[in-house]
Structure 1
């Protein structure tokens, strides 16, 4: 098995004495599409600049294909094996075709080969019909497609994307995400993609790295990162709003009883009596019923009584907060909200299955 294409070893980056990135060990495997997510100021763009050799570490070293970058002697030679696309397209004031060809011409590629790659790249990104258009007349989405085509025609070994969809409207962003995902899957280009948008990470990445406070806290398959966060910081960032601290009271027949604020919750997770845990519940795992309803059709072992304290619209759903002695957040469709006659102040039962919670062991 080949080693990683990029690796950080004992890397730290400080600005004016302030530590902004701490990466003792970080690897990118060949062919991987890694989505790096985290809040603003987490260090995502700094990490990307290091991996793209646009910035050097304060401490530690960057390895490309197993060799420390400094040993190459010429950073430009290594950078030429990479391509980057940023939030702003950074196009020259010329035609679309000339912009797509720019990097190839700077590398003195044969004219016939330049023309072949440019035509293929424009077709792949759906901008062939814009070839003679001046870049200043393009929409934001069109301009970013030109920027992507300009990078991809270089056949990079490593492709770096820094929030490339941040300034786009949702329909434009979704269309470009679908097209880019198909291109990357087909060509198997090693890609590092920085975003603060969880949905973009799920759509594009086959691995997700979560960065918070200058540290990479978890790297895993997207479904595992979002369903099984490693700690409370990651859990909150990936959208788990209900995090309840409790103590394991007993374990019997594969079910653990966890005491949380006077409630005895049953969870289908191997636990040890006496330990402290965090019970994590995603909003979509919780079902609401009017107080007093007979829950004969529900298989949920956990049923907590409470009162709706607020609801906020979120597209076709409501994000509902219930006070059960602890705060629980559930997602309810607008149709269900109306059919159940729910309202702020309504007494409800918040129900969830024993298999629903993700458990984090307290330090």
Structure 2
């Protein structure tokens, strides 16, 4: 549906975007994530035909876009955009939703039908005659989304549309958007710095840093098998420790990490230096004096709690393990935290499966 080739953007002679290739498949939701200043919005504007690249080609439905030609506006009519700021006109909600249709000279009956349909889908029918300037942030963004969907775009561009919303409003809109995007089958490019948003919406995820795409894949691949330490840290891997492969047997590796022996699944050669990565949600903590039955986890590390920090409905617990006191980080529910009576210095055992370990060559 949409493709960028050898895209490069320079601002004041400085490269801010260098992307050899990016593809957005028909009907998919591609989430582009990365830290502030990574070039996400610049890439979105280029793919959305809102900003020409310094060099490179954008293809829509297989045909290259001719920047500056008379066909550019006609091609843009296949796109709709929603930004962090709603960008509504100083008129009523229903007039805002109708705007794109009227600019496309849609028949009056079709305009009325589409406006009523999307007022209902976005849950703002009761606001139809309200002035847009009087809307709350969540209501205004619903109006923006309704306006975008009403023109039935081939490509929908979303540039951090939930960044300014409070958590309950954001969660409600994300849930609604999930349903609408699947229902419409709309090809979507969604830019965000929020990992959870990307996981909820993205069919595939592209990780951007420093104007470049570092990894593209399905969520389980990007979050479970990051290609570099930088990507791993951004996607929420909190335990990253250097190690060395000391044994291999039928795909089961033994890795020496800070004096500890860790078993992992993967491909590597004996003697290879690696980074051992563990996601905090894959670790299980129990008190060292707790008696347990058989466990399926291959890895058991003894350690002591260093600190614990509340994070929403969970606690982030840092544990010093092994002879070198290498730190690992686990997430536990508040209930588990209270039941285990964890505090600084509590002796614990951390368990995790070999399949939870991801190794990055270094």
Fold conserved between structures, TM > 0.5: yes
Runs of 4+ that moved beyond 4 A: 292-295
Deviation of the 1:267 alpha carbon: 1.4
- Looking at structure 1, the residues matched to 309 and 100 of structure 2 have their Cα atoms a distance apart, in angstroms, of 48
Q: 1:231: which partner in 2?
A: 228
Q: Gaps (5+ residues) in structure 1? A: none
Could you tell me how far 1:293 is from its partner in structure 2? 4.2
Question: Within 2, Cα distance between the matches of 1:283 and 1:164?
Answer: 28
User: Please, which of 216, 234, 256 is the counterpart of residue 259 of structure 1?
Assistant: 256
Larger mean CA deviation between 76-85 and 219-228 belongs to 219-228
Q: Residue 320 of structure 1: CA displacement?
A: 0.7
Q: How does 1:263-282 map to 2 (within 5 A)?
A: 263-282=260-279
| Residue equivalent to 1:15 | 11
Instruction: Judge conservation of contact 2:299–2:352 (CA < 8 Å) in 1.
Output: yes
SS of the aligned residue for 1:279 comes to strand
Match of 1:246?
243
Size of the alignment, in residue pairs?
A: 358
Q: Structure 2: 5+ residue runs without aligned partners?
A: none
Q: 2:155 aligns with which of 150, 155, 158?
A: 158
- The Cα shift of 1:82 comes to 0.6
Aligned to 1:177: 174
Offset, 1:205: 1.4
SS at match of 1:40: coil
**Conservation of the 8 A alpha-carbon contact between 2:97 and 2:146:** yes
The Cα offsets for residues 305-328 of structure 1, whole Å up to 9 and x where unpaired, read as 222221100122210111222111
**1:152: how far off?**
1.0
Contact 2:97 2:144 in 1 (8 A): yes
- Whether 1:35 and 2:39 are equivalent positions in the alignment is no
Q: Secondary structure of 2:66's match?
A: helix
Instruction: Kindly report which structure 2 residues correspond to 1:307-322, keeping only aligned pairs within 5 A, or say none.
Output: 307-322=304-319
CA positional deviation for 1:337:
2.1
Q: Deviations over 1:43-89 (max 9, x none)?
A: 10000000011111112121222222117822211111111010011
Question: 1:45 pairs with 36, 41, 47, which one?
Answer: 41
SS in 2 for 1:267: strand
Partner of 1:47: helix, strand, or coil?
helix
2:206 to 205, 209, 212: 209
Q: Measure the CA separation in 2 of the matches of 1:349 and 1:53.
A: 54
Alignment-derived partner of residue 125 in structure 2: 128
CA distance in 2, matches of 1:264, 1:93: 65
Normalised by the length of structure 2, the TM-score is 0.95
Q: Cα RMSD over matched residues? A: 1.6
Matched, 1:343 2:340: no
Q: Are 2:297 and 1:300 aligned?
A: yes
Q: Do 2:52 and 2:67's aligned partners in 1 also have CA atoms closer than 8 Å?
A: no
Secondary structure of 1:355's aligned partner:
helix
Please tell me whether residue 64 in structure 1 is matched to residue 37 in structure 2: no
Q: What residue number does 1:334 align with? A: 334
TM-score, normalisation: structure 1: 0.94
Residue 253 to residue 108, structure 1, CA distance change in 2 (3 Å): closer
2:276/2:358 contact within 8 Å kept: yes
Q: Distance in 2 between matches of 1:124 and 1:336?
A: 40
